[in-house]
């Protein structure tokens, strides 16, 4: 019985530490993704008519969970491109016209098609995390390739939206796609 108790506590402590380690990794991944998204914003140029004034806020709309919103909130303090960032958590895909950036990591096929058909020609930087299905991906699509976070850019989608993606960002992407399915 004594051996049983030792093994029980050993596996119990292992389970607790593994759970804590997994939580830490997930939190770290969310921070990294939010930092990457902020850099996408930094290296994107909007048309002059996308904002009411030169100091208007950048509206970063999130179609994600509360934990991801917290990661963005911690990093989005201060100014980016001489503008404050206003973060808005979306529960439904309504009022997308008020967004300058849409980060969505939980689209269904139907939601993606509806959202992109609505905002396709509007100057909204769409960032998704989709398996590579061009018609469900945003202008920038985050991918997990062999445990590493990568991204692809759909150039035609950016051009259709009136956005200019920096050549520096294009060089870092795993592939630049010209199709706009």
In a domain, 20, yes or no: no
Please say if the pLDDT value at position 15 is more than 60. no
In a domain, 135, yes or no: yes
Q: Please compute the mean of the pLDDT values over residues 63-70 and round it to a whole number.
A: 80
Q: What is the pLDDT of residue 3?
A: 61
In a domain, 67, yes or no: yes
Identify which of 169, 173, 176 has the alpha carbon closest to the alpha carbon of residue 149.
173
**In whole angstroms, what is the distance from residue 30 CA to residue 130 CA?**
16
Q: Please compute the mean of the pLDDT values over residues 144-155 and round it to a whole number.
A: 87
Q: Please compute the mean of the pLDDT values over residues 72-83 and round it to a whole number.
A: 77
**In whole angstroms, what is the distance from residue 62 CA to residue 110 CA?**
18
In a domain, 57, yes or no: yes
Quote the percentage of the chain above a pLDDT of 90. Answer: 31
Please say if the pLDDT value at position 35 is more than 50. yes
In a domain, 74, yes or no: yes
Please say if the pLDDT value at position 105 is more than 70. yes
Q: Please compute the mean of the pLDDT values over residues 34-61 and round it to a whole number.
A: 92
In a domain, 28, yes or no: no
In a domain, 10, yes or no: no
Largest CA distance in the chain: 75
What is the domain range of residue 119?
Answer: 33-177
CATH number, position 169: 3.40.50.2300
The domain total for the chain is 1
What DSSP string runs through 108-172? -HHHHHHHHHHHTTSS-EEEE--SS-GGGS-SEEEEEETTEEEEEEEHHHHHHTT-EE-HHHHHH
Q: What is the pLDDT of residue 121?
A: 92
The mean pLDDT of the chain is 80
């Amino acid at each position: 019985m004594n051996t049983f108790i030792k093994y029980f506590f050993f596996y119990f402590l292992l389970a607790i530490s593994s759970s804590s380690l997994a939580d830490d990794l997930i939190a770290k991944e969310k921070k990294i993704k939010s930092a990457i998204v902020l850099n996408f914003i930094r290296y994107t140029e909007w048309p002059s008519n996308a904002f009411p004034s030169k100091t208007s806020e950048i509206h970063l709309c999130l179609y994600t969970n509360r934990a991801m919103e917290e990661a963005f909130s911690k990093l989005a303090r201060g100014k980016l491109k001489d503008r404050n960032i206003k973060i808005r958590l979306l529960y439904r895909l309504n009022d997308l016209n008020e967004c300058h950036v849409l980060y969505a990591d939980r689209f269904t096929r139907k939601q993606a098609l509806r959202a992109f058909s609505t905002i396709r020609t509007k100057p909204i930087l769409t960032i998704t995390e989709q398996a590579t299905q061009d018609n469900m991906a945003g202008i920038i699509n985050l991918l997990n390739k062999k445990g590493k976070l990568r991204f692809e850019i759909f150039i035609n989608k950016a051009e259709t939206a009136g956005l200019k993606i920096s050549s520096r960002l294009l060089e870092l992407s795993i592939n630049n796609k010209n199709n706009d399915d």
